[in-house]
């Protein structure tokens, strides 16, 4: 006798049979995978046994062109979207027919073909990604929603709260699905949160919320269908808590010894498949011979697809291919500077680029704290809403992590995004999605992150430890990120234009002390500059000076003060990609080199450049490679302390030493 109540739902027999088959398939696949795991034929497995009704019910309620962002217990999402099983099996075996070319495992993948966006191990960021996908639908005036899954454990992450807040403030059609299965690995819910029901959290965000029996397929399908139909007509976020249970370990190696047996027994009686099977049999919808026929059909499908996946050879290792796939290919199109110029400040050049790029790319959205009516703390976007409107110039709540995730979601749904970090220091609150999502997504499953993150940075303005860092080295070492750091208005405008054309994630550093202190004649019209090309500002044969950002201006001023005209001065402009050819060419010519950075030295880009020079130009060197950077302390506030911290005076002393060496 079934333990769940089904009779109140008016669903046709054909639809009920379809739901039954859709639940049974992932269950039978899992049972097969557990055998293969014991045989050592797959490496790991995260079981969703007992939770199939949620995946299948939600996926069936959505339209096929609506994105779903599942977790690692949502095999039913993938099978209900009719992904060929051999591709799933190949994915789990790390073979080429999978979705990640062997670069990621299990359910850590996405596929535009089936409108599925898989999670990363950090869990929370995908919630913000769902916001971005839904925002794109809303901006394109499409009556579509996005569904995203998390477990009860993930609701403790900051990204959960940030994503719900953004979705609520912006009225985004996101169905937030919490699979409350009782345990986060081994930690029971009473050690994770203290509210009675997680659905109650919706009230705190002014959000509609529901509690649904996650083991009752008819309740899941019926109630979710009703909810999402309303969301399409009246775009808004909805939070749904599905009450269910995890019948196996967090992953198979962890087991379930920490779960009381009586609790396991209680939930075993609520198994979504055996209960529904009993109900269908009792009502005459599922005869014994039909049940056997369905199982045999699924078994054949599994066996045939497994054979196909197992017969596929192991993936080839190709170093060139691996390196080429870190970034999406970018066919740089040069637009040469031409026509009239005007003398503008660095900050004006940034603003001009933003405005012209917004005009050029109608799918570009700018996001940041106070950037709309107020124009940003530096007034760079002042007046933009008059031209582009608040839909594309968006004030954000103070939630850097979920906003970066939102930018990623916009890219997934065919748009471009810019995020302004109010100060580059604040990027630490959005660090995870940048280095773990944006940077890795193209390499993992061929999905680019068309995102520019603007980073007002740097010292010399008495702003203290939390508004003055130059933290480019946090990102130059992360494969998959491009990092640009111009020193002049001309370069800033051309390089930022290129950043918005590039389909890859770009961190664009803008030194605050240069915003209103540096002027230059800059073309009025649109133009671009190529990444990875340094600029030689002074020509000389005695010593090479390699720097970027404010360091360029310190070097120019120091050379003029010393009346020294024999230096090769290289302004890198682009840090990743790095113009190693220009660096080595200069050092080979002069035999002496000093690298100037505003960053502290240990672990800095200057250290990496020094290593490159030592490795590639050693025979040309006539002196030790010199590095100059800021003190190994946080950057202080008081003027005299800040002057001591910054490397300008030490640069002159070391340059003189190198000249005389």
Catalytic residues: 467
Largest CA distance in the chain: 97
Residue 47 half-sphere exposure, CB side, CA atoms within 13 Å?
24
Q: DSSP strand E in 430-581: where?
A: 451-457, 482-484, 506-511, 519-523, 535-538, 543-547, 567-571, 574-576
Six-digit token string for 450: 């068309």
User: Bridge-partner residues for 35, per DSSP?
Assistant: none
**Is residue 413 within 8 Å of residue 67, measured between CB atoms?**
yes
SS3 471: coil
Cα 42 from chain centre: 28
Q: How far is CA 72 from CA 29, 161, 165, 212, 475, in A?
A: 14, 21, 25, 20, 29
**Is residue 513 within 8 Å of residue 476, measured between CB atoms?**
no
Give ∠ CA 277-279-282 in degrees, rounded to 5. 110
Sheet holding 593-600, edge to edge: 535-538, 567-571, 543-547, 593-600, 626-630
- Tell me which DSSP letter residue 434 carries: I
**Is residue 273 within 8 Å of residue 218, measured between CB atoms?**
no
CA distance 60 to 92: 24
CA distance 360 to 353: 10
Number of H helices and E strands in the chain, helices first, is 24, 23
- Tell me which DSSP letter residue 433 carries: I
Instruction: Give the residue ranges of DSSP H helices in 502-628.
Output: 550-562, 580-590, 605-616
Q: What are φ and ψ of residue 452, in 5° steps? A: -110, 130
| Among 49, 63, 132, residue whose Cα is nearest residue 363 | 132
**Is residue 519 within 8 Å of residue 335, measured between CB atoms?**
no
CB neighbours (10 Å) of residue 459? 24
Six-digit token string for 184: 């986060």
The single residue listed with the structure tokens 């010393």 is 562
User: Bridge-partner residues for 482, per DSSP?
Assistant: 506
CA distance 448 to 499: 14
Six-digit token string for 52: 């199939």
Cα 583 from chain centre: 32
User: Bridge-partner residues for 571, per DSSP?
Assistant: 535, 547
Q: Is the dihedral of CA 361, 365, 367, 371 positive or negative?
A: positive
CA distance 101 to 91: 8
**Is residue 243 within 8 Å of residue 198, measured between CB atoms?**
no
Cα 343 from chain centre: 38
Q: DSSP strand E in 54-201: where?
A: 68-69, 110-111, 116-117, 146-151, 174-180, 183-184, 187-188
Residues 6+ apart with CB under 8 A from 229: none
């Amino acid at each position: 006798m079934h333990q769940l109540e089904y009779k109140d739902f008016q669903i046709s027999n054909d639809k009920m049979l379809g739901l039954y088959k859709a639940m049974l398939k992932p269950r039978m696949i899992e049972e097969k995978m557990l055998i293969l795991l014991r045989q050592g034929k797959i490496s790991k497995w995260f079981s969703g046994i007992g939770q199939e009704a949620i995946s299948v019910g939600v996926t069936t309620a959505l339209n096929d062109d609506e994105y779903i962002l599942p977790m690692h217990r949502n095999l039913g999402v993938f099978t209900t979207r009719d992904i060929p099983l051999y591709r799933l099996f190949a994915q789990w075996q790390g073979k080429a027919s999978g979705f990640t070319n062997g670069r990621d495992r299990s359910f850590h993948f996405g596929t535009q073909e089936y409108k599925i966006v898989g999670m990363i191990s950090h869990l929370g960021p995908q919630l913000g990604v769902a916001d971005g996908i839904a925002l794109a639908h809303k901006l394109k005036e499409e009556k579509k929603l996005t569904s995203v899954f998390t477990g009860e454990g993930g609701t403790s992450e900051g990204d959960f709260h940030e994503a719900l807040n953004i979705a609520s403030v912006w009225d985004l059609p996101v169905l937030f699905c919490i699979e409350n299965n009782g345990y986060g690995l081994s930690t029971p819910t009473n050690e994770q949160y203290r509210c009675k029901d997680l659905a109650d959290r919706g009230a705190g965000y002014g959000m509609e919320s529901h509690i649904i029996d996650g083991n009752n397929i008819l309740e899941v399908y019926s109630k979710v269908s009703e909810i999402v139909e309303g969301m399409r007509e009246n775009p808004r976020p909805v939070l749904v808590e599905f009450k269910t249970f995890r019948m196996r370990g967090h992953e198979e190696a962890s087991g379930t010894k920490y779960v009381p047996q009586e609790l396991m027994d209680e939930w075993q009686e609520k198994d979504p498949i055996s209960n529904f099977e009993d109900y269908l049999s009792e009502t005459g919808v599922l005869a014994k011979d039909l049940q056997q026929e369905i199982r045999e059909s699924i078994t054949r499908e599994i066996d045939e697809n497994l054979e196909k996946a197992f017969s596929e050879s192991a993936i080839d290792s190709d170093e060139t291919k691996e390196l080429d796939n870190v970034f999406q290919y970018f066919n740089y199109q040069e637009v040469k500077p031409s026509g009239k110029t005007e003398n503008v400040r660095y900050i004006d050049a940034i603003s001009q680029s933003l405005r012209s790029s917004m005009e050029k790319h109608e799918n570009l959205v700018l996001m940041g704290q106070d950037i709309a009516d107020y124009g940003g703390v530096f007034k760079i976007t002042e007046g933009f809403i008059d031209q582009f409107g608040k839909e594309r110039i968006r004030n954000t709540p103070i939630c850097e992590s979920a906003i970066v995730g939102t930018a990623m979601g916009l890219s997934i749904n065919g748009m471009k995004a810019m995020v302004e970090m109010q100060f580059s220091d604040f990027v630490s609150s959005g660090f995870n999605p940048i280095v773990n999502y944006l940077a890795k997504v193209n390499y993992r499953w061929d999905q680019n992150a068309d995102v520019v993150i603007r980073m007002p940075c740097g010292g010399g303005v008495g702003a203290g430890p939390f508004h003055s860092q130059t933290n480019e080295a946090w990102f130059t070492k992360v494969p998959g990120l491009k990092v640009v750091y111009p020193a002049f208005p001309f370069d800033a405008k051309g390089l930022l234009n290129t950043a918005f054309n590039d389909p890859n994630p770009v961190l664009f550093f803008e030194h605050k002390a240069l915003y209103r202190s540096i002027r230059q004649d800059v073309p009025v019209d649109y133009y671009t500059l190529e990444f990875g090309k340094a600029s030689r500002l002074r020509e000389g044969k005695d010593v090479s000076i390699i720097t970027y950002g404010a360091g360029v201006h310190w070097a120019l001023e120091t050379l003029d003060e010393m009346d020294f005209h024999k230096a090769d001065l290289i302004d890198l402009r682009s840090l990743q990609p790095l113009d190693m050819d220009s660096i080595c060419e200069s050092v080979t010519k002069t035999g002496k080199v000093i690298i100037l950075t505003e960053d502290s030295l240990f672990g800095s880009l200057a250290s990496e450049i020094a290593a490159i020079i030592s490795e590639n130009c050693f025979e040309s060197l006539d002196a030790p490679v010199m590095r100059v950077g800021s003190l190994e302390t946080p950057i202080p506030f008081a003027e005299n302390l800040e002057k001591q911290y910054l490397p300008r005076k030490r640069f002159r002393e070391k340059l003189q030493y190198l000249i005389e060496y």
